[in-house]
Structure 1
Amino acid sequence: MAQGQRQALTDIVVHSRLNDGTAVCLRTITPDDAPLLRAGIATLSAESRYLRFFSPAAVLPEPVIERLVDVDGHDHIGWGAICTECAGEPAIGAVHAVRDRHDGPVGEYSVAVADAFQGQGLGRMLTAALLIDCRAEGLEALDLHVLSENGAARHLVKSLGATWKGESAGVADYRLDVAAALAALRSDGAAQGVQDVFAQLAG
């Protein structure tokens, strides 16, 4: 992607509302977001931390935090969500795609949403922003590793047309086609937050 296009996309802050009317903004993650991300992870329930990081630890090792904010917009793409009407404007969700090799067409997808905001469409909004960015950066597919008991994540990826690749030791593996998933999200006219993402990022 041309540098000018990349700069234009990273400059965009998507303003929208969750299904319950909560005002949020979505933007790309930067290294300066480490404190926000650290605080957001600390607010997750032990179950949510386990489902996202495969560990219930309340405090993640600093190298993990550093990797999560080491976003370059090409080999590692990351978007975060802020509750703009909450005190302190906390981070309430994040989504990542990390290439399996430099400039490769496949990456690994992960998403987390704060407990108090789950079930309000934020995961789909973040995923839409991420996939629009992935398409612009030449990523064609994303692999997902989901704990078998994570019903919400499995429902999300299946709704986006992900292909089940297998299961081992309680972890299910899926592959998501970026173009097909974007088409599925764009066709969901009832999801106003998702449509706001497309309107503001993809035109």
Structure 2
Amino acid sequence: MIGRTISRIIIEGRADRDTSGGMIIHTRLNDSTAVCIRTVRKDDEQRLTQGIAKLSTESRYLRFFSGMRQPPQHVIDALLDVDGHDHIAWGAIASDEPGQPALGVVHAFRDADDPGQAEFSVTVIDEYQGRGIARLLSTVLLLDCRREDLEKLTVHILPENRAAILLAKSLGADHVHRESGVTIFDIEIEPALASLREVSDVPGIADVFAAFEAGEG
């Protein structure tokens, strides 16, 4: 079951076949910016490092718990080492911008001791925060995690990261405990997806659900 993919492409609500065999979802942000959402690949290293460099010092600190301009290479390598089962990762790319830069990325790393659980993180570059990308990427990730038999996500958030806490709570997160100054939340996948299906202020979420439902049909 490792790395299962769905060969569909959704463009503005229309389902077509993707000859590459992977799922790509073409949709728009809340401000009508065109984006495509697809799985992260090893050849995305330049996109990933450029995206991290675009983050403000505060955003890098909130994501990596460090303000350094770039994480060490072994961290970059781990973020790109995606197999679609033990490590699931999707990125949002600006479809109409030169070079199609990355706007955000979401990851789930399966827990080796509890295979039904994974650690969740989502990052959006500062310029595009507040446009619905975090919820779009969360929806894609949760649907893919469910398909890969995950039931629960954990997320580690610094107490000052109010936006991440609000996102986690909107997904039904339960506060588990605090460890070394970091707040840990649990997110049950099925209830989180049910809440996302009811979201009306991020129109692209409907395209995400449609893409997965078309692939499973």
Structure 2 residue 17 is matched with structure 1 residue 19? no
Which residue, out of 190, 196, 199, partners 2:201?
190
Equivalence map 1:109-128=2 (5 Å): 109-128=120-139
Counterpart CA distance in 1 for 2:85 and 2:180 is: 31
Structure 2 residue 39 is matched with structure 1 residue 39? no
Which TM-score applies when normalising by structure 1? 0.94
Q: Which residue of 2 aligns with 1:7?
A: 5
Counterpart CA distance in 2 for 1:170 and 1:164 is: 14
The answer to whether the 8 Å contact 2:23/2:38 transfers is yes
Q: Which residue of 1 aligns with 2:146?
A: 135
Counterpart CA distance in 1 for 2:25 and 2:84 is: 17
1:46-79 C-alpha deviation (Å, 9 max, x unpaired): 0110011101100211100000000000000000
After TM superposition, the structure 1 stretch with the greater mean CA deviation from structure 2, 59-68 or 169-178, is: 169-178
Equivalence map 1:153-168=2 (5 Å): 153-168=164-179
1:5-39 C-alpha deviation (Å, 9 max, x unpaired): x1326611111111111111100011111111111
What secondary structure does 2:127 align onto? helix
Structure 2: gaps spanning 5 or more residues? 8-20
Deviation of 1:102 after TM superposition, in Å, equals 7.2
Which residue, out of 105, 112, 119, partners 1:108?
119
Counterpart CA distance in 1 for 2:155 and 2:110 is: 12
Deviation of 1:192 after TM superposition, in Å, equals 0.6
Which TM-score applies when normalising by structure 2? 0.88
The answer to whether the 8 Å contact 2:110/2:117 transfers is yes
Deviation of 1:183 after TM superposition, in Å, equals 0.7
What secondary structure does 1:88 align onto? coil
Distance 1:163 1:8, change over 3 A: same
Q: Write 1 or 2 for the structure with the bigger share of helix.
A: 1
What is the RMSD of the two structures over their aligned residues, measured on CA atoms?
A: 1.6
The answer to whether the 8 Å contact 1:95/1:126 transfers is yes
The answer to whether the 8 Å contact 2:106/2:141 transfers is yes
Q: Which residue of 1 aligns with 2:17?
A: none
Counterpart CA distance in 2 for 1:96 and 1:15 is: 19
The answer to whether the 8 Å contact 1:75/1:102 transfers is no
Counterpart CA distance in 2 for 1:43 and 1:159 is: 27
Q: Report runs of 4+ in structure 1 exceeding 4 Å deviation.
A: none
Deviation of 1:103 after TM superposition, in Å, equals 7.5
The answer to whether the 8 Å contact 2:36/2:94 transfers is yes
Structure 1: gaps spanning 5 or more residues? none
Q: Report the AA paired with residue 209 of structure 2.
A: F
